[in-house]
């Protein structure tokens, strides 16, 4: 079986619910257009309808059909995205990270400054850590109070913060090509800026 790349995106409940989800949707849409097999799914575990609670959004991308359909969590991610850097202070966002994994954070700070929030065990596995000022690039965070579960998304996918994050994740990890990620995001400009402006620190 071909290897599946798993992406976990951390966001804040309700406030970034859509943007976190959009990161996963833009990446899987981009990969799907490249002919890959994909899954993107929302969170059912973290009780996501509480404002500012830490929530996770997931994506899986593979060259072959993905077989584990009914597991709604990525326990061993290859790529971790963090839509709000403060989340890292209170939780080990990289838990279960695969060796050679990537960590991409929305922050105006330098990647070196945020490395202290990654515990030693996970730090050894990180291939690169990167920061992108996604909120500065695309300040829109569409707040939808209808709830995470069963909500209908009437706006376009990848309009705000999520597009810049998806661009940055593509640039750092190379999981999808630049053209695909720009094509999948509704806000092409901010996806491009996320791709171009991400600050990367390679660790190994």
Q: Which 12-71 residues touch another protein, going by CB under 8 A? A: 12-13, 45-46, 51-54
Smallest gap from Cβ 152 to another protein, in A, equals 26
How many positions of this chain bind another protein (CB under 8 A)? 24
Smallest gap from Cβ 196 to another protein, in A, equals 24
Contact in structure between 184 and 29 (CB atoms under 8 Å): yes
For the chain, how far is it from start to end, CA to CA, in angstroms? Answer: 27
Smallest gap from Cβ 177 to another protein, in A, equals 31
Q: Is 107 in the site for another protein (CB under 8 A)?
A: yes
- Residue 120 or residue 152: which is nearer to another protein going by CB? 120
For residue 147, report the phi and psi dihedrals to the nearest 5 degrees: 100, 155
Q: Taking CB under 8 A as the rule, which mask of x and - marks residues 110-129 in contact with another protein?
A: ---------x----------
CA 63 from centre of chain: 20
Cα(43)–Cα(37) distance, integer angstroms: 20
For residue 177, what are the CA distances in angstroms to 119, 129, 146, 190? 31, 19, 34, 16
Contact in structure between 148 and 162 (CB atoms under 8 Å): no
Burial-class residue 98 by CB neighbours within 10 Å (0-12, 13-18, 19+).
Answer: middle
Q: Is 161 in the site for another protein (CB under 8 A)?
A: no
Stretch that binds another protein, among 57-65, 92-100, 128-136, 194-202 (CB under 8 A): 92-100
Q: Is 76 in the site for another protein (CB under 8 A)?
A: yes
Cα(36)–Cα(22) distance, integer angstroms: 18
Smallest gap from Cβ 6 to another protein, in A, equals 13
- Residue 6 or residue 29: which is nearer to another protein going by CB? 6
Interface positions with another protein (CB under 8 A): 12-13, 45-46, 51-54, 73, 75-76, 84-87, 89-92, 95-96, 107, 109, 119
């Amino acid at each position: 079986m071909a290897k599946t790349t798993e992406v976990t995106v951390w966001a804040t409940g309700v406030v970034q619910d859509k943007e976190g989800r959009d990161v996963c949707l833009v990446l899987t849409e981009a990969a799907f257009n490249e002919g890959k097999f994909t899954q993107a799914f929302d969170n059912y575990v973290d009780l996501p309808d509480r404002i500012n609670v830490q929530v996770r959004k997931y994506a899986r991308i593979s060259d072959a059909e993905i077989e584990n359909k009914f597991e709604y969590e990525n326990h061993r991610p290859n790529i971790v995205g963090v839509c709000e850097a403060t989340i890292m202070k209170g939780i080990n966002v990289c838990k279960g990270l695969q060796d050679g994994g990537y960590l991409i954070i929305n922050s105006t700070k330098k990647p070196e400054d945020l490395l202290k929030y990654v515990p030693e065990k996970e730090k050894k596995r990180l291939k690169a850590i990167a920061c992108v000022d996604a909120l500065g690039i695309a300040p829109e965070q569409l707040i939808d109070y209808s709830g995470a579960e069963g909500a209908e998304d009437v706006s376009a996918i990848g309009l705000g913060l999520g597009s810049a994050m998806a661009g940055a994740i593509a640039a750092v990890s190379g999981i999808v090509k630049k053209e695909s990620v720009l094509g999948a995001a509704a806000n092409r400009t901010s996806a491009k800026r996320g791709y171009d402006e991400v600050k990367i620190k390679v660790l190994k």
